[in-house]
Structure 1
């Protein structure tokens, strides 16, 4: 059996279970010097509960994200009637301030862009993460 035939059979053996389970295989070459985007651009800085503050969303659809970037996954969307308990804040790599919050009465927590908070979020220097 030629080496090419062996590789083709191996590739088929690896791909078959994935394809049968509904998964898809996609191969892409990474860009040489491109900045990370999407999930690759999402950072997860450490945080602690330094703030006694709380607030609400400004508008009906503030996104609670897994990290302080619009490239991070959304874990919840909150409206103006939902109370958010503030923990601390960070400034991300593009200069935007984000507050780490917990949705009152739940264990759901994450990051909200301060521009989407009714009072601008937790920004006191003592509350920096």
Structure 2
């Protein structure tokens, strides 16, 4: 019997003799954030030299990487977006942090709404 096994037996024996039950419990599962909790304003930096436009219509620029976050601007397909970096949110969707070209307006756009799929190179992750 190994030292670890002897120690475990020594600790468990008195508990079992006293009628105590040994059970293992898993840590409580935490749900993915939803609603306003998903708008955490993750940090970002300008890692990408890329740029793109909205795909097939208007794209919403949001305060965080979730459809539940507030819209700061809506851009059409002719508006150039300068890419900064990207994140994957708690439900698995990828979002790119952008700045509207020629302005100081910036925020998050869902990659599915960008003509080239956004900034997804591993080196450009926020």
Select between 37-46 and 72-81 the one with higher mean Cα deviation.
37-46
SS in 2 for 1:126: helix
Which residue in the other structure is 1:111 paired with? Answer: 108
Residues 76 and 16 of structure 1: is their aligned pair in 2 closer, same or farther, counting only changes over 3 Å?
farther
Query: In the comparison of the two structures, how many residue pairs are matched?
Result: 126
Residues 29 and 87 of structure 1: is their aligned pair in 2 closer, same or farther, counting only changes over 3 Å?
same
Deviations 1:26-72 (A, max 9, x none): 99999999875432331211000000000000022100000000010
Q: Distance in 1 between matches of 2:20 and 2:109?
A: 32
Select between 5-14 and 40-49 the one with higher mean Cα deviation.
5-14
Q: Distance in 1 between matches of 2:20 and 2:99?
A: 34
SS in 1 for 2:13: helix
Residues 27 and 49 of structure 1: is their aligned pair in 2 closer, same or farther, counting only changes over 3 Å?
farther
Unaligned runs of 5+ residues in structure 1 are: none
1:80-119 aligned within 5 A: 80-119=77-116
Q: Distance in 2 between matches of 1:73 and 1:23?
A: 53
Q: Distance in 2 between matches of 1:106 and 1:11?
A: 65
Q: Distance in 1 between matches of 2:70 and 2:59?
A: 13
Q: Distance in 1 between matches of 2:57 and 2:24?
A: 39
